[in-house]
Amino acid sequence: MSWSNMKELIKKLSDMRGVSGFEYRITDKISDILRPYCDEVKIDALGSVIGVKYCGKKNAPRIMIEAHCDEIGLMVTSVTDEGYLTFTSVGGVDERTLPSTEVTVHAREDLWGVIGIQPAYLLEKGKTVKKKAMAVDTGLDAKKVKELVSVGDSITLAQSVGEFGDNRFSGKSLDDRACLAAIISVMERLQNTDLNVDVYAVAAVQEEVGCRGGKTTAYGINPDMAIAIDVCHGITPDNSDDAFDIGSGTVISVGPNLHPKLTDALFETANNRNIKVNVEVDGGNTGTDAWEIQVARDGIPTALLSLPLKYMHTSVETLHLSDAAATAELLAEFIKEQKGDMKWISF
């Protein structure tokens, strides 16, 4: 996949609006994007998208590559007499960033709105504005709002992805749609290639509320190995510890829940192909689907690749295109190298 095509794919995926639990709004679109590169595409009972490329060889090993397709967001908790919408969070929303944010309310029809708060001069000095003091203003009269909006409707951040600097992107839900773009790029790179493994590309649901889709798809596929792709922290002015420069390459995690032989094999592929990688040490729960995939069924050898991302869980998440491209290249080359015998991964 060319860089220009990768750019457009990231923008297209980011602009989709699928809060955790409401991914049904976007999974058909994701399926349509995957379909040209797969022999079969299906949506499972929980809502995750699974695209399969079969190698055509008997009893071929199964490799699962996975990114989540859901995004953080909000849900309507009430419609006030004045027509304002109160809300609660879905996933790890940083409420400090919500005031003055533009949003889309997914009601009987999509409504544009803004999150408003009291002017600063009316607030108690030094006091942090809490979510319960905020509301969505759609600009419509109360009667119209009550006709269109129901309690439980989802709300997404409205920020579209913009490109700035040298192949840098900023916008909503790059966690984890940029990683999903990398997986789609992998499937494209595997076209017209003689493989020795069946490849399962997964766009998992509900990661932001408990890593649920990763767990259920791993159980259903029962792969011989799995590689999850998510984001890690990029270096910002206030955070350089356990963070990586955007544009510095994919990040390979090492830790007790990440299979050492699989991880070492990814390092070897990167070294042989001159693909830039970084190392992140995860001594416990990674906070990603990899944590749940590795304990599905009787255990699945699992690795974790990450894209450095600045300003995580905001409407201005920022990353570099080269990291998504490098991740796709590493995964595709690793899959091509597999000989069909998975004995090497056993302890």
Q: DSSP for 214-283?
A: HHHHHHHH--SEEEEEEEEEBPBTTB-TT-B-TTS-EEEEESTTS-HHHHHHHHHHHHHTT--EEEEE--
- Quickly count: other Cβ atoms within 10 Å of residue 4's Cβ: 9
E strand or H helix that includes residue 346? none
Give the residue among 127, 302, 133 at the shortest CA–CA distance from 221. 302
Annotated catalytic residue 207:
yes
Can you give the pLDDT at residue 93?
94
Alpha-carbon torsion (24, 47, 229, 153), positive or negative: positive
CA dihedral 48, 53, 57, 63 (to 10 degrees): -50
- What are the residues whose beta carbons fall under 8 Å from the beta carbon of 193, sequence distance 6 or more? 336
pLDDT surpassing 80 at residue 128: no
Per DSSP (E only), the strands in 54-124 are 62-68, 73-79, 85-90, 102-106, 110-116
Phi, psi dihedral angles at 267 (to 5 degrees): -60, -40
Residue 4 reports pLDDT greater than 80: no
Mean pLDDT in residue range 311-324: 96
**pLDDT tens digits for 289-314?**
999 999 999 999 999 999 999 999 99
CATH number belonging to domain 3-71+172-345: 3.40.630.10
Residue with tokens 């399926």: 31
Main-chain dihedrals φ then ψ at residue 83, nearest 5 degrees: 95, 10
Under the banding of pLDDT at 50, 70 and 90, the label for residue 124 is low
> What pLDDT does residue 121 have?
53
**Catalytic pick from 23, 207, 208, 329?**
207
Using pLDDT thresholds of 50, 70 and 90, give the confidence band for residue 324: very high
What are the pLDDT digits (tens) for 86-114? 999 999 998 889 998 999 999 999 999 99
Domain limits, the chain:
3-71+172-345, 73-157
pLDDT score of 117: 76
Q: Flag whether pLDDT at 61 surpasses 70.
A: yes
Domains 3-71+172-345 and 73-157 share a fold: no
Averaged pLDDT of the chain: 94
Give pLDDT, residue 141: 95
Which residues sit opposite 104 in a β-bridge?
A: 112, 156
> In Å, how far are 6, 183, 191, 306 from 188, measured between CA atoms?
11, 9, 5, 20
> Residue 46: what pLDDT?
98
275-292 tens-digit pLDDT: 999 999 999 899 999 999
Class of CATH domain 73-157: mainly beta
- Amino acid 108: pLDDT: 97
**63, 199 Cβ separation under 8 angstroms:** yes
pLDDT single digits (tens) 225-260:
999 999 999 999 987 788 999 999 999 999 999 999
**What tens digit of pLDDT does each residue of 183-214 get?**
999 999 999 999 999 999 999 999 999 999 99
What's the pLDDT score for residue 104?
98
For the chain, what percent of residues have pLDDT higher than 70? 96
Within the chain, what is the greatest distance between any pair of CA atoms?
A: 71
